[in-house]
Structure 1
C-alpha cells in the first residue's frame, strides 16, 4: 500500500518450457486451476500424499497444500482468499525463499526462479513494503542482507526509529518472528538486531524514542536467519492476536497501511510444529471480497494454527501465484470485480516470497 509510481504490468501466467511468460491462445483471462484437496472448504484437503512423481493429483508436491477460503465477517460481507500450508517435515525438499530484485511482477519471480535451477516453484506471494522500485523492508537471502528496513522516518513532523516485525528461517530450519532494527557496524555495513518488542514508539500518543535502539538495548541480540523478510506489523505472537497494538507501536497508520479497515492483505505465519502458512486475501470488492482488517487477519492466521505471524505489504500488491505461474486471486488493480473476462494486473515489486521444491 505504501508503494508510489508503480509500473503496472499485465501478464498471463502460462509458464512455457523456454521459461518465458506468454498468452495462452487469444484469451486474455487467467482461470485458476484446481486446488489441492476439494478446494472449497476452509479446513482444506490433506493434499501432498504424492504419487510416483512425489506430487498429489493436483500438481503440488508432497507437503504443500493450497486452499481457498470464504469467511463471513462481522457486520456483514465476506472475505475471500487463498492460503498455502508448507510441511517441511513431510517433505524436506520444500524451500522457503524470500527474493529481492530491482522490481518485477510475482509471475516473473515465478518464471525466473524456475529458470534459476534452484528448484521448482509452486507458490509466490508479494513481499515487504517499497517506494517506487526500492524496498524499504528487510530481505535476507542465504544469510546476506539484500535489503535493509527503513531506519528512520517522519510522522507528523517528528522523526522516529521504527522497530518492525520480521519473519525468518534459521540455520536449523526453524522459523522465528521478531522485531528488527538494522545497526551500523564499524566498517559502515549494516546488520539486523532483534528486539523483544517494538520498544517505545506509539503512534496513538505520538510518543517516539528520541534515539534509535542499540546493541545494548535490553534484550537485543544479533539476528542471524538464513532467509528472512520484514514488513509489519506483528500479527500473532506466542499464539496471541497482537495486531492492533503492534500496528500503532510499529508506526504504520501514517504510511497508508489502514490497518483498522478492510483491504487486500498478505501474511506469513508459522505453526507450533514448524509448518509455514502463506495467505493472501482479496478486497475492495474483487470477487465480492471486502478484505480483512489487521486484527481479522491475525484471527485468520490463528485459526490456521499459527502461533507467530507477520503482515506483509497489501492493497494492490497482494498477489497469490500458484502452480504453473497462474495468479489465483484477483489483485485489486485489476479492472472489474469478477474474474470472468478479467485481465489480471500485477504490481512490480522488489521483494517476494517463493515456495519451491528443491531438485
Structure 2
C-alpha cells in the first residue's frame, strides 16, 4: 500500500476490511482533515467485474447527501489502486452498542430506528437500495448521530430488475426472504432488514439462528417471524406490530416506504404512555382507551390491539417453502462476495 494516494491522502492505519476492500484512516493534506479511504483489494484489480462494481459504488454513494448517511468526498485511482474517500467517524457501530448493552431501551431503539429510516428514505428517493442493512453498517458518532455506512453494495435501480448475482450480498442474519431465494429486490427488502435490526435492538437477539448460513436463510423464507415481546415481555403491542409489518414474508404487505415507518414511530412517541399502560395491563380510563383506538384506526398502518398477527408465532408456513438447493446456491454466492464487515471499526473525527 502506498503511503500517499495521488499526493493528497496520507495513509495512517488500517481500520477495517471487507470482502471487496480495505478501509484506512488517512489525512487529507489539502483540506487538513481526517478521512476514511476505502481501497479495492489487489486481488480484484485485474477483475473487470469487480472494478465496475467498485466504480458503481463510488457513483451511487456520491449521489447521497444526508445527515444520517456517511458522506463520500472523492474517488480515484493511483497506480492501479482504486479508492473512495469518505468521512471518518469517531464512535461505535450499532452492533457494538447492542452487544455491550444486551439490547437497547425502547426509547433508544425507536430513536435509532427513526434515524435509519431517514437515511433509507433519502436513498430510496434517489433510486438506491442499500441491500445490506445490519448493525455492523450503522455507526453512532460521538454526538449520538446515527450514520448508515457502506452503500458500496448498493445499486441504482433506475427501473431495471436486478440480476440474481446482484441480490446475494446481504448478511444472512438480516436477509429478506427474496434475497435468500435470489429473487427480485426492491426498497421493501431494505425495510425487511431494518425490521430485523429493530427486533435485535429491542431484544438483544436476532430472531432466527442456525448452525449455518443456509439454515438461517431457510428460516427467513419458511418460518414465521416471532414478535419482539416473545423475548422481551415489556415491548408494547404497537412496536410488535411495527416490527412484524416490516418483516412480513410478502413484500407487498410490508410498509410502502421508510417514511411510513417514521410516521408510525412518531405516533408511538407521542402516545407511548398509553401504549405502555396497555402493554402492562394497567388501568386506563375509558375515555383514553377510546381515544387510543380512534387514533390507531384513523392514523396508523398497524393495530396494536390485534393480537392475532400473522407473524406472531414461530411455525413454518408451507407456502413459503422453497428448494433448499437454491437457498444454498444463493448463500454460497454471498459468501464469495461480502460476508465481512467493511466499515466495522470506523470512527468519527471533526474536520
The answer to whether the superposition gives a TM-score over 0.5 is: no
In terms of Rg, which structure is larger? Answer: 2
User: TM-score of the superposition, structure 2-length normalised?
Assistant: 0.24
Indicate the structure with greater strand content. Answer: 1
Indicate the structure with greater helix content. Answer: 2
User: TM-score of the superposition, structure 1-length normalised?
Assistant: 0.24
